[in-house]
Chain A
Amino acid sequence: MTQTRKVTHNKLLGIPLPAGHTGVDLIISALRIIIVALIVIGASSTLLEGRFTFEQWLALLFAGLAQGSIYALIALGYTLVYGILRMINFAHGDVFMAGAFTTVFLAKSLQQSGFLDSQPLLAILILMGFAALVSMTVAVLLERIAYRPLRNAPRLVPLITAIGASFFLQYTFRGLFGSGFKAYPTVAFLRGTIAVGSINIPVAQIFVFLSAIVLMLCLYWLVERTRIGKAMRSVSEDKEVATLMGVNVDLIIVFTFAIGGALAGAAGVINGFFRPQGVNFFMGFFPGIKAFTAAVLGGIGNIPGAMLGGMFLGVIETIGPNLVLNGLGIPSANQLKDVIAFTMLVLVLIFRPQGILGERLSVEKA
Chain B
Amino acid sequence: MATIHDGSNYAFDLALATERNFEEFGGEITFSGVVNVGDTDMSAILTDIASNALDVLFFPIFQPEGDSLVSQSRFIPGLENTVMLTADALLVEGFPIDSGEAALGVLMTGPAVTGEPYEAFPELWFEKYGEAPPSGFHAHAFDAANMLLDALEGIAVTGEDGTMLIGRQVLRDVFTNYTDYEGLTSLLTCSPTGDCGAVESMEIFEITEAEIHEGKWPPTIAWKPGQDSDG
Q: In the bound complex, do residue B44 and residue A332 qualify as a contact, i.e. CB atoms below 8 Å apart? A: no
A109 sits at the interface (CB 8 A) = no
* Cross-chain pair count, CB within 8 angstroms: 93
Residues on the B chain within 8 Å of A183, using CB: 64, 67, 94, 97-98
Bound form: Cα–Cα A52–B43 in Å: 13
Task: Annotate B48-90 by CB proximity to A: 1 below 8 A, 0 otherwise.
Answer: 1011000000000001100110010001111000000000000
Residues on the A chain within 8 Å of B101, using CB: 186, 191
Q: In the bound complex, do residue A275 and residue B68 qualify as a contact, i.e. CB atoms below 8 Å apart? A: yes
Q: In the bound complex, do residue A276 and residue B75 qualify as a contact, i.e. CB atoms below 8 Å apart? A: no
Given known pairs A59-B75, A277-B98, the reply for A333 and B48 (CB within 8 Å) is yes
B36 sits at the interface (CB 8 A) = yes
Residues on the B chain within 8 Å of A326, using CB: 48
Task: Annotate B1-44 by CB proximity to A: 1 below 8 A, 0 otherwise.
Answer: 00000000000000000000000000000000111101111111
Task: Annotate A112-134 by CB proximity to B: 1 below 8 A, 0 otherwise.
Answer: 00000000000000000000000
Q: Chain B nearest CB: distance from A316 CB in Å?
A: 11
Q: In the bound complex, do residue B77 and residue A53 qualify as a contact, i.e. CB atoms below 8 Å apart? A: yes
Q: In the bound complex, do residue B44 and residue A321 qualify as a contact, i.e. CB atoms below 8 Å apart? A: yes
B47 sits at the interface (CB 8 A) = yes
Which residue in A59, A185, A191, A277 is a CB contact (below 8 Å) of B40?
Answer: A277
Q: Chain A nearest CB: distance from B130 CB in Å?
A: 16
Bound form: Cα–Cα A282–B51 in Å: 33
Given known pairs A199-B77, A275-B68, A277-B71, the reply for A191 and B100 (CB within 8 Å) is yes
Bound form: Cα–Cα A265–B140 in Å: 42
B78 and chain A: residue at smallest CB distance = A56
Q: Chain A nearest CB: distance from B14 CB in Å?
A: 18
A343 sits at the interface (CB 8 A) = no
Q: In the bound complex, do residue B48 and residue A322 qualify as a contact, i.e. CB atoms below 8 Å apart? A: yes
Among B38, B43, B67, residue most surrounded by chain A Cβ atoms (within 10 Å): B43
Bound form: Cα–Cα A63–B97 in Å: 23
B221 sits at the interface (CB 8 A) = no
Tell me the residues in window 202-239 of chain A with beta carbons closer than 8 Å to chain B beta carbons: 202, 205
Given known pairs A56-B50, A322-B48, A334-B35, the reply for A202 and B75 (CB within 8 Å) is yes
B45 sits at the interface (CB 8 A) = yes
Q: In the bound complex, do residue A335 and residue B50 qualify as a contact, i.e. CB atoms below 8 Å apart? A: no
Q: In the bound complex, do residue A337 and residue B78 qualify as a contact, i.e. CB atoms below 8 Å apart? A: no
Q: In the bound complex, do residue B41 and residue A52 qualify as a contact, i.e. CB atoms below 8 Å apart? A: no
Which residue in B35, B39, B47, B63 is a CB contact (below 8 Å) of A60?
Answer: B47
Which residue in A51, A202, A318 is a CB contact (below 8 Å) of B41?
Answer: A318
Among B38, B98, B99, residue most surrounded by chain A Cβ atoms (within 10 Å): B98
Q: In the bound complex, do residue A318 and residue B44 qualify as a contact, i.e. CB atoms below 8 Å apart? A: yes
Bound form: Cα–Cα A318–B76 in Å: 13
Task: Annotate A48-66 by CB proximity to B: 1 below 8 A, 0 otherwise.
Answer: 0001110110011001100
A200 sits at the interface (CB 8 A) = yes
B70 and chain A: residue at smallest CB distance = A277
Bound form: Cα–Cα A332–B36 in Å: 10
A18 sits at the interface (CB 8 A) = no
Residues on the B chain within 8 Å of A202, using CB: 75
Number of interface residues of A (CB under 8 A): 36
Bound form: Cα–Cα A281–B215 in Å: 26
Bound form: Cα–Cα A337–B44 in Å: 8
Q: In the bound complex, do residue B51 and residue A52 qualify as a contact, i.e. CB atoms below 8 Å apart? A: yes
Among A181, A321, A322, A334, residue most surrounded by chain B Cβ atoms (within 10 Å): A334
Bound form: Cα–Cα A337–B38 in Å: 13
Which residue in B33, B38, B98 is a CB contact (below 8 Å) of A334?
Answer: B33
Tell me the residues in window 13-62 of chain A with beta carbons closer than 8 Å to chain B beta carbons: 51-53, 55-56, 59-60
Q: In the bound complex, do residue A278 and residue B33 qualify as a contact, i.e. CB atoms below 8 Å apart? A: no
Task: Annotate B182-226 by CB proximity to A: 1 below 8 A, 0 otherwise.
Answer: 000000000000000000000000000000000000000000000
Residues on the A chain within 8 Å of B64, using CB: 181, 183, 277-278
Q: In the bound complex, do residue A60 and residue B75 qualify as a contact, i.e. CB atoms below 8 Å apart? A: no
Tell me the residues in window 260-301 of chain A with beta carbons closer than 8 Å to chain B beta carbons: 275-278, 282, 286
Bound form: Cα–Cα A232–B77 in Å: 46
Bound form: Cα–Cα A186–B63 in Å: 17
Residues on the A chain within 8 Å of B48, using CB: 321-322, 326, 333-334
Bound form: Cα–Cα A335–B99 in Å: 22
Task: Annotate A74-97 by CB proximity to B: 1 below 8 A, 0 otherwise.
Answer: 000000000000000000000000
Residues on the A chain within 8 Å of B35, using CB: 334-335
Tell me the residues in window 88-123 of chain B with beta carbons closer than 8 Å to chain A beta carbons: 94, 97-101
Residues on the B chain within 8 Å of A286, using CB: 38
19 contacts between A and B (CB under 8 A): A52-B47, A53-B77, A53-B78, A60-B47, A181-B64, A183-B67, A186-B101, A275-B41, A276-B67, A276-B71, A277-B67, A277-B98, A278-B38, A318-B44, A333-B44, A334-B45, A334-B48, A337-B39, A337-B41
Taking A56-B78, A200-B75, A318-B44 as given, write out 8 further A-B residue pairs in contact, using a Cβ cutoff of 8 Å, ordered by the A residue number.
Answer: A60-B44, A64-B43, A67-B41, A181-B64, A186-B101, A191-B100, A278-B40, A332-B34
Interface residues of B (CB under 8 A from A): 33-36, 38-45, 47-48, 50-51, 63-64, 67-68, 71, 75-78, 94, 97-101
Interface residues of A (CB under 8 A from B): 51-53, 55-56, 59-60, 63-64, 67, 181, 183, 185-186, 191, 193, 199-200, 202, 205, 275-278, 282, 286, 317-318, 321-322, 326, 332-335, 337
